[in-house]
Structure 1
């Protein structure tokens, strides 16, 4: 069962990254392999969505509940689909001088041995591509290297 944890420091505020991650209706616009997504319910504290992912002719759908704890935490709970389990968490911690630290964790396993074998072979590459898609989306939305703090001031981070 694949598990991954990654930490990145990004030049965007915790509020900005929280908004990006919780805007799940937009995932098909920028996330690889997301073929379709339907938001069944959405509020400030929680969303429920159905997602269809596809890769090389394989398509699977699953449902999840997204718990939103603005501006520092997002927890995704698996409801139904081809997996045995799926746990996903995002934590956003403001950094001195602007930007934030993003902690990302995902842990899952498939019911199907075929899917489990495929996931094991491609897991690292797929996760790197997915994380890069979130970073690229943040750059497009907020401008590379700029950050707006919770008090509305702009700052710039280099390197």
Structure 2
């Protein structure tokens, strides 16, 4: 089953990055393959959202429960749709140079056909998604906060 874990040091605050990830309704504006997002219910600690993802002829909508642990963690728990399961966690840790972001996603489609199709594009898709959040941070918060941060020994990208 596709799993991706990535750790990045990003020159924004945990609050800023938390707000970007928690703003689910804006995902279609900047996330590759996200064509629609709607919030069913929302409180300060949790929201339930429907996301429609699509590429080529493929379009699927799924429902997730998103737990908001401001400003350190966002957990996404799959509820309904084309997956057997989907787990996604964002962790935001303060760092003198910005924020250390840990991203984890693991999922399996119910359909073997979809699973095989996604396996081909999964790794590139996740990299594009994380990069899209970083670009969104620049677009929203500006570049003055984004001094180039050199790679840190021990940080990893695992696929």
Query: TM-score scaled to structure 2, two decimals?
Result: 0.90
User: 1:145, CA displacement in angstroms?
Assistant: 4.4
Unaligned 5+ segments in structure 2 are: 150-159
**Corresponding residue number in structure 2 for 1:8:** 8
Measured against aligned partners, the alpha-carbon deviations of 1:80-138 in whole angstroms (never above 9, x if no partner) come to 00000000000000002x41000000000000000110111111111111111111001
Measured against aligned partners, the alpha-carbon deviations of 1:36-61 in whole angstroms (never above 9, x if no partner) come to 11100112100001111111111111
What CA RMSD, in Å, does the superposition of the two structures yield over aligned residues? 1.1
CA contact (8 A) 1:42 1:48 kept: yes
How many angstroms apart in 2 are the aligned matches of 1:4 and 1:112?
A: 20
Name the SS for the 1:71 alignment partner: coil
**Corresponding residue number in structure 2 for 1:61:** 61
**Corresponding residue number in structure 1 for 2:17:** 17
**Corresponding residue number in structure 1 for 2:83:** 83
CA contact (8 A) 1:32 1:130 kept: yes
Residues 28-43 of structure 1 correspond to what in structure 2 (within 5 A)? 28-43=28-43
How many angstroms apart in 1 are the aligned matches of 2:28 and 2:112?
A: 27
**Corresponding residue number in structure 1 for 2:128:** 129
**Corresponding residue number in structure 1 for 2:72:** 72
Query: TM-score scaled to structure 1, two decimals?
Result: 0.90
CA contact (8 A) 1:74 1:89 kept: yes
**Corresponding residue number in structure 2 for 1:151:** none
1:49 aligns with 2:41: no
User: 1:77, CA displacement in angstroms?
Assistant: 0.2
How many angstroms apart in 2 are the aligned matches of 1:124 and 1:6?
A: 11
How many angstroms apart in 2 are the aligned matches of 1:104 and 1:115?
A: 23
How many angstroms apart in 2 are the aligned matches of 1:137 and 1:5?
A: 20
Unaligned 5+ segments in structure 1 are: 147-155
State how many pairs are aligned.
149
Residues 103-142 of structure 1 correspond to what in structure 2 (within 5 A)? 103-142=102-141
